[in-house]
């Protein structure tokens, strides 16, 4: 990490060391000016202006017609929490529901935002989040046009700007095709730069933050799956934060017949994906109401 060479606080180091060795090292404010720009991050034109404030406004407008019906069901959720545990059974994520209902008393829009999105924003903006499985892995899922890629781009921008570190936004569909092109024969060769799989994967392995957009659209070629699995294995080993977006939850990969990840028979990888922190592109109250009604 480097700061501005003329900075009087850090003398270009980017870090401020307190004379008291018990106090933590602080990131110097001058590094914000050096944060990666949208082109360095690889953000497509559609997502270059993505940020949480704009996303919340767009999302609230899109969900405006659902606000009152959802808020009318808050009492049902409060009643569910009040019932004896032996009567309703174990409620997975009870603490999350309690926090949501408390937040609603301050600002009703908290119940309209996508389930898990506020935790993602808090992590990106302030670094505060307790990961259940250790690795900083996020899985954002929802149907087409639900805003999952925009939300991932907003998190990437906020995280890199806060820390002054780099990052990368990658289309999984494009990356998959590039990996597949490495193996094409001379009659249909698309890899005119003669890149190897290593050339394609290595620049992504140690990105401080990596977004892999449309993870579920990887090519069915088993060699593509092997390369992507190695990429995630490396990032897991190095404890590097990663965000994946997809149409469905990670469990959906197991259910897809002949899916390349399932053919790898890599149980550890699938388990890590299932253990990712989830963001579902439905209003948080709708998420909990649906769960309550399925009980």
Pairing mode, if any, of strands 277-283 and 114-115?
Answer: antiparallel
- Asked if residue 135 and residue 259 are part of one domain, the reply reads yes
Identify the weakest region by mean pLDDT among 42-51, 194-203, 228-237.
Answer: 194-203
**119-143: per-residue pLDDT in tens?**
999 999 999 898 988 899 999 999 9
**pLDDT exceeds 60 at position 190:** no
Return the pLDDT at 116.
Answer: 94
Return the pLDDT at 5.
Answer: 66
Domain encompassing residue 14: 1-34
**pLDDT exceeds 80 at position 184:** no
pLDDT range class, residue 186, cuts 50, 70, 90: very low
- Asked if residue 59 and residue 4 are part of one domain, the reply reads no
Mean pLDDT of the chain: 86
Give the phi and the psi of residue 120 in degrees, each rounded to 5.
Answer: -60, -45
Give percent of the chain with pLDDT exceeding 70. 85
3-state secondary structure at position 146: coil
Return the pLDDT at 90.
Answer: 79
104 found inside a domain: no
- Asked if residue 267 and residue 147 are part of one domain, the reply reads yes
Return the pLDDT at 289.
Answer: 93
- Mean pLDDT confidence for 142-156: 96
- Mean pLDDT confidence for 208-214: 97
- Asked if residue 191 and residue 164 are part of one domain, the reply reads yes
Local structure of residue 209 (DSSP, 8 states)? S
H or E stretch covering 212: strand 210-213
**83-127: per-residue pLDDT in tens?**
887 777 778 888 889 989 998 888 888 899 999 999 999 999 999
What are the start-end ranges of the H helices in the chain?
52-62, 67-71, 74-82, 85-88, 94-106, 117-126, 148-163, 172-181, 197-205, 222-237, 251-255, 260-264, 267-274, 284-294
**18-68: per-residue pLDDT in tens?**
777 766 666 665 654 445 666 668 899 999 999 999 999 999 999 988 889
Give CA–CA dist 114/137, Å, rounded: 18
- Residue 32 CA to chain centroid, in angstroms? 22
- Asked if residue 59 and residue 1 are part of one domain, the reply reads no
**C-alpha dist (Å) from residue 266 to 161, 232, 236, 240, 269:** 35, 12, 14, 20, 6
**158-183: per-residue pLDDT in tens?**
999 999 888 999 999 999 988 988 87
174 found inside a domain: yes
3 found inside a domain: yes
Give CA–CA dist 115/279, Å, rounded: 6
Pairing mode, if any, of strands 168-171 and 210-213?
Answer: parallel
- Asked if residue 257 and residue 153 are part of one domain, the reply reads yes
Return the pLDDT at 187.
Answer: 42
- Asked if residue 169 and residue 220 are part of one domain, the reply reads yes
100 found inside a domain: no
Q: How many domains does the chain fold into? A: 2
CATH of the domain at 248: 3.40.50.300
């Amino acid at each position: 990490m480097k700061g501005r060479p003329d900075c009087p606080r850090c003398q270009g180091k980017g870090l401020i060391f307190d004379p008291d060795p018990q106090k933590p090292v602080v990131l110097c404010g001058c590094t914000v000016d050096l944060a990666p720009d949208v082109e360095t991050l690889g953000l497509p034109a559609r997502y270059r202006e993505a940020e949480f404030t704009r996303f919340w406004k767009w999302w609230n407008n899109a969900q405006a017609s659902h606000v009152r019906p959802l808020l009318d069901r808050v009492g049902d959720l409060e009643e569910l929490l009040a019932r004896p545990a032996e009567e309703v059974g174990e409620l997975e994520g009870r603490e999350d529901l309690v926090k949501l209902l408390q937040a609603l008393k301050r600002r009703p829009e908290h119940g309209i935002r996508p389930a898990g999105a506020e935790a993602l924003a808090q992590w990106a903006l302030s670094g505060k989040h307790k990961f259940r499985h250790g690795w900083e892995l996020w899985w954002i899922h929802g149907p087409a046009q639900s805003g999952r890629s925009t939300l991932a781009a907003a998190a990437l921008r906020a995280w890199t700007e806060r820390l002054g570190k780099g990052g990368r936004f990658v289309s999984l569909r494009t990356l998959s095709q590039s990996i597949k092109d490495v193996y094409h024969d001379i009659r249909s060769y698309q890899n005119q730069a003669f890149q190897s799989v290593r050339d394609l994967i290595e620049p992504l392995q140690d990105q401080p933050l990596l977004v892999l957009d449309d993870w579920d659209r990887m090519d069915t070629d088993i060699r593509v799956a092997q390369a992507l699995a190695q990429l995630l294995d490396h990032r897991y080993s190095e404890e590097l934060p990663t965000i994946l977006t997809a149409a469905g939850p990670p469990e959906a990969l197991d259910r897809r017949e002949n899916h390349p990840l399932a053919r790898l028979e890599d149980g550890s990888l699938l388990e890590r994906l299932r253990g990712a922190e989830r963001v579902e592109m439905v209003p948080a109250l709708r998420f909990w109401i649906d769960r309550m009604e399925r009980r």
